[in-house]
Amino acid sequence: MAKEVNLLGLWASPFVLRVQIALELKGVSYEYLEQQLWENKSELLLRSNPVYKRVPVLIHKDQPICESAIILQYMDEVWGACGPAILPSDPYERAIACFWVSYIDDKFGPSLVGLIRGKTDEENAAAAEQAILGLELLEEAYEKSSRGKRFFGGDDVGYLDIVLGSSLRWIEVIEIMRGIKLLDNAKFPLLMAWAERFRAAAVVKKLMPEAGKLMEYAKEVQARMNAAAAN
């Protein structure tokens, strides 16, 4: 690896997208190394993340850092003088942002996965209910955190914006796959307006995966899951 900073990733992963957006915002030069996760995982990935064996992994000066939320925090410490801050400087606001990031990863994100994996109407309905509940809570969180500004983090894209925003394309794909509407302007006007602003950010437009390609990947994921369940 020639560069000081390397990112092991998968193009379709919203977790990898988080790190890519943050690297671009910070203006950090890096080499992107696409990984295969279904089979034939690379020796570099297995060596860099022996516990979870998954992406993203940021390798900085030959030292691997795993898990997207942790990587973003690390980047804000190491490249604090570069680009906009990712995490809030105020300790309370930082704690609140970290709380909602944990909620997204522990509760909201799994509900989206459930909508991809669901095999019955009951499973899909339960996952959709959980996802909509999550959006209701995040709508309230945005109103409180943004204080009338453009993003969760204020005037600039920040920690919570990156974490939630990186899932927006997957939400669109899931809505089409399941014939449902999760992000609805009537129910979530603040989140809908925020999502438009986030998607319009130059760095996001540059990195956000194309919806049609992501749809094909989602179908492949479903097929692999169904095949695994049948065995």
Residue range 155-201, pLDDT digits in tens: 999 999 999 999 999 999 999 999 999 999 999 999 999 999 999 99
Q: For residue 185, what are the contacts with CB-CB under 8 A and spacing of at least 6? A: 192
Annotated domain spans of the chain: 5-79, 91-227
Domain 5-79 matching CATH 3.40.640.10: the answer reads no
For residues 171 and 183, the answer to whether their CB atoms sit within 8 Å is yes
CATH code, 91-227 = 1.20.1050.10
Largest CA-CA distance found in the chain, in angstroms, rounded: 52
Read off the pLDDT of residues 67-121 as tens digits, 9 standing for 90 and up.
999 999 999 999 999 999 999 999 999 999 999 999 999 999 999 999 999 989 9
The pLDDT, as a whole number, for residue 223 is: 84
For residues 45 and 53, the answer to whether their CB atoms sit within 8 Å is yes
Q: How many Å from the N-terminal Cα to the C-terminal Cα in the chain?
A: 39
